[in-house]
Amino acid sequence: MVKSIWKLFVLFFIGFILLSACQSKETTTSLPQKSEAPVIKEVKMEGQSSKGFIENIDWVSESEILTVKKEENQTALYIYDVFEGSSRKIYETSSYVLSAVSPDKEKIIIHSAPTTYSAELSIIDLNGTILFQDEIPSYELTYSWSKYDESRLLITSFAEDWSFQVFLLDLQSKTMDLLQIDQPFLHWRSDVEVLFQDWNEEDISVSAPLVSKNILDNEEQLVVESSIHFNVFNKQILAVVPTNEEDRFTYQFITQDGKVDSHFEVSLLSRYSDWLIPYYDMIEDKDQLLTFVANEPGVFDTYNGTFSLRSWNAKTGEETILYKELPLEPIKCSPTGTYCLYGNQLEKIIDLKNTTIIQLVKEEGANM
């Protein structure tokens, strides 16, 4: 694909992982109660101080989240308990930090940028012990952690002209090996297979075939003829595919042997050169996808409507509307799906049992 299109995909891919930095001022919002058992533990409302707060990253357990703060000339990572209100510092660095939690919730990848064209990669455990550290030339980075062997990651390093290299990082051997793959955005399908959209460099298109490749023998297999987005979970592949109607797309949940378990159809908002995939998260223990859906058709840049938050069971096909009107903001759910971090800085929590939204971050000068 031409370099300008690569740039759009890089920005979308990174934005989906790293989130934007505009903090919402929304406070606790009560919605109609469901007939559910009471929550045993209560989230400590406004338990996080806004002083130095940058963003929350993800859950590291059912009760703890990873938080990034600015402290003088350092960027620090904390683990914060949302029920106890306690926190502990596990790592700090002098350069800007982008980070993500591994699928097993036991490791954290840290991407710091000492200079514009250099990336320092660090992998730490939840106590801050460095498991791997190296520096590579890079203008932007994306990465995909293997759920089949969590000592391995795929790292894609982009140069300023959006040319790229793909590396296989092995934490056990502490090596980074260059792979010969012609596409930059990859997900693991098995311990030896990766998935990617096979974009045609000669054509500008919003969809592409979804292909699986064995990194040992380079054998390729077509999974879906045309898709605009994909992801991989423990049991299924998610593929978003076009329909015969221009703004209508189907979310398909595909098993490892290629069978479509379930699917649902939605309208997506158009953008300048593609279609907006609203924020979503998968609660894998429950085979449950939570996704935002635009309540009205339109163009994303001029859209003034709201979004509904819906739950879709990828096995049974059961759909539930959780919230009818919410702003479109990133969402990250706890392992059991009882709570979800929500907001441009993940500064709020959605309590799915009591259908409330709780503000986690306390404004300076406000009373608890």
Q: Which residue has the higher pLDDT, 46 or 40?
A: 46
**pLDDT recorded at residue 367:** 52
**Assessment of whether the complete model's pTM goes beyond 0.95:** no
**pLDDT recorded at residue 73:** 87
Examine the pLDDT at 3 and tell me if it is beyond 80. no
Q: What are the pLDDT digits (tens) for 178-234?
A: 998 999 999 999 999 999 999 987 777 889 999 999 999 999 999 999 999 999 998
**pLDDT recorded at residue 5:** 44
State the average pLDDT over residues 233-238.
Answer: 89
Beta-sheet pairing, 48-49 with 361-362: parallel
Alpha-carbon distance of 127 to 331, in angstroms, equals 25
State the average pLDDT over residues 309-319.
Answer: 93
Q: What are the pLDDT digits (tens) for 242-260?
A: 999 989 999 999 998 889 9
**pLDDT recorded at residue 47:** 86
Examine the pLDDT at 42 and tell me if it is beyond 90. no
**pLDDT recorded at residue 364:** 66
Alpha-carbon distance of 82 to 360, in angstroms, equals 8
Examine the pLDDT at 167 and tell me if it is beyond 50. yes
Residue 24 has phi, psi (to 5 degrees) of -80, 150
Two structure tokens written together for 299? 């163009």
**pLDDT recorded at residue 119:** 85
Question: Rg of the chain over CA atoms, in angstroms?
Answer: 20
**160 confidence band (pLDDT: 50, 70, 90):** confident
**362 confidence band (pLDDT: 50, 70, 90):** confident
Residue 125 exposed, middle or buried by CB count within 10 Å (0-12, 13-18, 19+): middle
Q: Which residue has the higher pLDDT, 339 or 11?
A: 339
**pLDDT recorded at residue 7:** 46
**pLDDT recorded at residue 354:** 83
**pLDDT recorded at residue 266:** 95
Q: Which residue has the higher pLDDT, 11 or 61?
A: 61
| 159 conformational bin, left if phi > 0, alpha if psi -120 to 50, beta if neither | beta
Alpha-carbon distance of 368 to 362, in angstroms, equals 7
**pLDDT recorded at residue 365:** 58
Examine the pLDDT at 270 and tell me if it is beyond 70. yes
Two structure tokens written together for 173? 């051997």
Mean pLDDT, rounded, of the chain: 86
**165 confidence band (pLDDT: 50, 70, 90):** very high
> Which numeric CATH code is attached to 3-362?
2.130.10.10
Q: What count of residues does the chain have?
A: 368
End-to-end Cα separation, the chain, in angstroms? 52
Q: What are the pLDDT digits (tens) for 89-142?
A: 999 988 877 889 999 999 999 998 777 778 889 999 999 999 999 998 888 889
Residue 216 to residues 173, 192, 219: CA-CA distances in angstroms? 18, 7, 8
